[in-house]
């Protein structure tokens, strides 16, 4: 393996009723730019008796970015948001000072048939000066997402700025997130086209880096930041993301992100004692994990 790259494998964990692969955080790399957490959901076959049902849980100090390739998720939160996220759409919930939400398979998909669920949920840490901002939810349907072609590369700009273009979703720090697909394969040159740290999540296909194969289910982090180019194999899809690191590295505890241990403990106490705002009409409650008490 090239010594200027770091390869990370998915680690399996549970989300609702199915398994997901976790890519960040990793012991050798806690963040890439402001990105602090990545779950790969699926691809899994869902159907009767097996749906996404993530009960009410809290967040602080971060934004959750949900991006799907297949299936649907109904997002509900304590702001009153009810939004079904479909393939190609982006849901972006900024927790700030504190929010509760649920994620479920919508009623329209619980019709007895089977379907595939596949996508990513990503956490973007807020800068210290914004970690207690008012919560908000932003939704970006696929029609609003910039897309273009360079040679054989089909590129979508999901968030931030890259290749001289800007996405409607800007977030709250210098960042970028791209969805890139190539049918024939080729060399993708990122030099001068993005800014900050950069990582590649291989959705399907593979990347070849100095003779080392990086395949689906793995993440490649460049230690040379934006000054890199990467060889994509034929029929490969990658998510490319990163940006400038935050001025102070945030801490992570369960569903909470903050720039001080005191803020994390305050949020834990608020959740344990049920002082968080609630999702209207939902009495479910995920307990703070005992192993973290």
pLDDT at 250: 93
Give the integer Cα–Cα distance in Å for 162 and 260.
Answer: 31
pLDDT at 2: 41
Closest CA relative to residue 205, chosen from 233, 173, 183, 171: 233
Regions of the chain where pLDDT drops below 70: 1-30, 223-227, 291-293
Residue 189's closest CA among 157, 156, 219, 228? 228
Residues 222 and 23: their CA atoms lie apart, in Å, by: 15
Give the pLDDT confidence of 250-278 residue by residue, as tens digits.
999 999 999 999 999 999 999 999 999 99
Domain 5-243: CATH superfamily, name plus number: Jelly Rolls (2.60.120.10)
Q: How would you write 57-98 as a 3-class SS string?
A: EEEECEEEEEEEEECCEEEEECCCCEEEECCCCEEEEECCCC
Instruction: Write the CA distances from 192 to 20, 113, 180, integer angstroms.
Output: 34, 47, 17
Nearest to 65 by CA among 35, 109, 106, 96: 35
- For the chain, give every domain's residue range: 5-243
Collapsed DSSP state (helix, strand, coil) of residue 285 = coil
Tokens of 187: 């060399």
C-alpha neighbours within 13 Å on the C-beta side of residue 204 = 11
pTM: 0.90
Query: Tell me, what's the pLDDT at 21?
Result: 46
Q: Please, which residues have CB within 8 angstroms of residue 172's CB and are 6 or more apart in sequence?
A: 63, 94, 124, 126, 127, 130, 133
Query: Which residues touch 66 (CB under 8 Å, ≥6 apart)?
Result: 73, 75, 85, 90, 91, 92, 103, 119, 120, 121, 122
């Amino acid at each position: 393996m090239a010594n200027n790259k770091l390869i990370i494998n998915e680690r399996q964990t549970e989300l609702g009723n199915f398994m997901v692969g976790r890519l960040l955080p990793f012991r050798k790399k806690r963040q890439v730019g402001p990105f602090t957490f990545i779950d790969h959901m699926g691809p899994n076959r869902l159907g009767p008796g097996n749906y996404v049902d993530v009960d009410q849980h809290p967040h602080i100090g971060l934004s959750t970015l949900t991006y799907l390739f297949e299936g649907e998720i109904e997002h509900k939160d304590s702001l009153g948001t009810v939004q079904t996220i479909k393939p190609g759409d982006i849901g972006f919930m900024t927790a700030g000072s504190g929010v509760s939400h649920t994620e479920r398979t919508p009623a329209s998909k619980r019709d007895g048939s089977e379907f595939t669920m596949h996508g990513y949920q990503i956490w973007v840490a807020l800068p210290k000066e914004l970690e207690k901002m008012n919560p908000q939810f932003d939704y970006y349907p696929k029609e609003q997402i910039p897309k273009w072609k360079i040679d054989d590369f089909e590129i979508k700009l999901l968030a931030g700025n890259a290749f001289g273009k800007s996405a409607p979703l800007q977030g709250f720090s210098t960042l970028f997130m791209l969805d890139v697909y190539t049918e024939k394969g080729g060399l993708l040159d990122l030099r001068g086209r993005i800014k900050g740290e950069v990582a590649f999540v291989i959705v399907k296909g593979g990347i070849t880096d100095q003779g080392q194969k990086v395949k689906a289910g793995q993440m490649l982090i460049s230690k040379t930041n934006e000054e890199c180019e990467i060889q994509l194999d034929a029929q490969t899809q990658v998510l490319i993301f990163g940006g400038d690191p935050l001025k102070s590295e945030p801490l992570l505890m369960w569903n909470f992100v903050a720039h001080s241990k005191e803020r994390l403990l305050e949020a834990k106490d608020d959740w344990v004692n049920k002082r968080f705002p609630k999702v209207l009409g939902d009495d479910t409650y995920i307990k703070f994990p005992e192993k973290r008490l």
